[in-house]
């Protein structure tokens, strides 16, 4: 693998990232076409139903694509979806070589796109910057491989691990930069999921607000054009339809009761009874994945976030830490009673950095041995 292969693939990943707020349920994909050391075409997938990255890049390259090398962050598709197969388009354009960062994660199609290219006499390589490519589409990959979305839990706490005073007083623990970062987490997610406690206590709406995203106009427009579905876990249907959450657009409500009303003022009701009168969270995630949901952002209080944690359903924690102590009578980060040190959830901290006056920790649960 040449160093230049990595450089062009890095550029293709940069292009792919432009779709972070808009491609789902599709993956984010970028493509760069290079001929004689010159980039002659670039493209990225913008939105489902619109052309794939390869098509944009091939259009830009035109005749210069003949004999060129195409760098794609994901194996070109070989099936007819809403658009024709990209592998066919690459063959038709006469490219000489295709470098893919990773195979299609769908086990039933993985490798077919590359095989079609190879069968047409095109030199094919894979695995260039694969880890970066996989990270960009962790949700899409998990849905394809496991039938579950990637679950990111956002938490905001004081440095002593507290989320609110015992009274419930909690608003604005963190500052504007952190709130803007949370807005971007919402915008990239297919679903923003919360619980009745949060909606009742904080009058939370869980919407994406253009002026708080802190993005350039192009990305802001893309983010706003495809807002995440808002999902409320409300086993006992405690949240009234007059709540700001319901007034802010259509939502999906997961309830634990089979005898729920059919009509819910334009909102969808989903009965997923689990143990102890709670919603079955795993079934909810499976249902969301079956609807094409790649990434779920959980923004909930200690009880619901703790329930996801206890059920082993969390892929990533993003913890915003405010530089203050709220004291020992304040509310905990997660309702998750553990008795012995051996039961502790081990984590890998992958990032810890300043976000305005606050700090952000990104931590991944480690598998329990």
Please give the residue ranges that form the binding site for a second copy (CB under 8 A): 157-162, 165-167, 169-170, 302, 306, 309, 319, 323-330, 332-341, 343-349, 352-354, 359, 361, 363
Report, in Å, the least distance between residue 172 CB and a second copy: 9
Least distance (Å) from a second copy to the CB of residue 26? 34
Nearest approach, Cβ of residue 182 and a second copy (Å):
18
Residue 343 a catalytic site member:
no
∠ CA(335), CA(233), CA(313), 5° rounding? 55
The three state secondary structure string of 356-368 is CCEEEEEEEECCC
Structure tokens at 126: 């894979």
**Nearer of residues 92 and 323 to a second copy, judged by Cβ:** 323
The C-alpha angle with vertex 226 and arms to 251 and 355, in degrees rounded to 5, equals 95
Burial label, 290 (beta-carbon count in 10 A; 0-12, 13-18, 19+): exposed
Give yes or no for a contact between 52 and 45, defined as CB atoms under 8 angstroms apart: yes
- 126 DSSP 8-state letter: E
Q: Rounding to the nearest 10 degrees, give the CA dihedral for residues 133, 136, 139, 142.
A: 20
Cis bond before residue 25 (omega within 30° of 0):
yes
Closest distance to a second copy from the beta carbon of 307 (Å): 12
Of 14, 42, 50, 54, which one is the catalytic site residue?
54
Min CB(171)–a second copy separation in Å: 8
Report the SS3 class of residue 63.
helix
Smallest separation, CB 199 to a second copy (Å) = 21
Q: Extract the tokens encoding 354.
A: 């300043």
Instruction: Tell me the H-state helices in 18-85.
Output: 53-61
- Burial state string for 91-108 with b = 16 or more CB within 10 A and e = fewer than 16: bebebebbbbbbbbbbee
Task: Compare residues 144 and 309 and give the one whose CB is closer to a second copy.
Answer: 309
Helix (H, G, I), strand (E, B) or coil at 88: helix
Distance CA 149, CA 336 (A): 23
As a whole number of angstroms, the distance between CA 363 and CA 289 comes to 23
d(CA 90, CA 15): 19
Residues acting as catalytic residues? 54
């Amino acid at each position: 693998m040449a160093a230049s292969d990595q450089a062009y693939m890095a550029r293709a990943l940069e292009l792919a990232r432009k779709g972070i707020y808009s491609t789902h349920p599709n993956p984010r994909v970028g493509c760069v076409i290079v001929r004689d050391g010159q980039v002659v075409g670039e493209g990225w997938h913008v939105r489902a139903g619109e052309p794939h990255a390869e098509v944009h890049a091939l259009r830009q390259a035109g005749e210069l694509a003949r004999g060129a090398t195409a760098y794609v962050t994901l194996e070109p598709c070989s099936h007819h979806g809403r658009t024709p197969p990209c592998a066919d388009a690459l063959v038709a354009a006469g490219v000489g070589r295709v470098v893919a960062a990773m195979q299609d994660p769908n086990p039933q199609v993985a490798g077919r796109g590359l095989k079609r290219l190879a069968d047409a006499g095109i030199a094919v390589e894979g695995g260039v910057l694969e880890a970066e490519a996989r990270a960009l589409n962790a949700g899409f990959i998990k849905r394809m491989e496991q039938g579950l979305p990637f679950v990111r839990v956002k938490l905001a706490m004081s440095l002593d691990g507290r989320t609110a005073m015992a009274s419930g007083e909690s608003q604005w623990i963190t500052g504007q930069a952190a709130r803007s970062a949370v807005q971007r987490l919402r915008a990239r997610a297919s679903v923003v999921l919360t619980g009745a406690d949060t909606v009742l206590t904080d009058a939370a709406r869980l919407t994406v607000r253009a002026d708080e995203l802190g993005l350039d106009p192009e990305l802001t427009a893309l983010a706003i054009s495809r807002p995440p579905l808002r999902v409320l876990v409300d086993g006992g249907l405690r949240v009234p339809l007059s709540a700001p959450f319901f007034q802010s657009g259509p939502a999906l409500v997961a309830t634990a009761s089979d005898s729920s009303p059919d009509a819910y003022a334009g909102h969808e009701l989903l009965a997923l009874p689990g143990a102890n009168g709670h919603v079955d969270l795993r079934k909810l995630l499976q249902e969301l994945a079956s609807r094409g949901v790649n990434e779920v952002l959980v923004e909930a209080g200690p009880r619901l976030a703790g329930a996801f944690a206890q059920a082993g359903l969390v892929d990533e924690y993003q913890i915003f830490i405010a530089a203050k102590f709220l004291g020992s009578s304040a509310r905990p980060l997660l309702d998750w009673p553990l008795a012995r040190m051996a039961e502790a959830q081990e984590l890998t901290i992958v990032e810890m950095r300043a976000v305005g006056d606050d700090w952000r920790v990104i931590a991944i649960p480690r598998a329990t041995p």
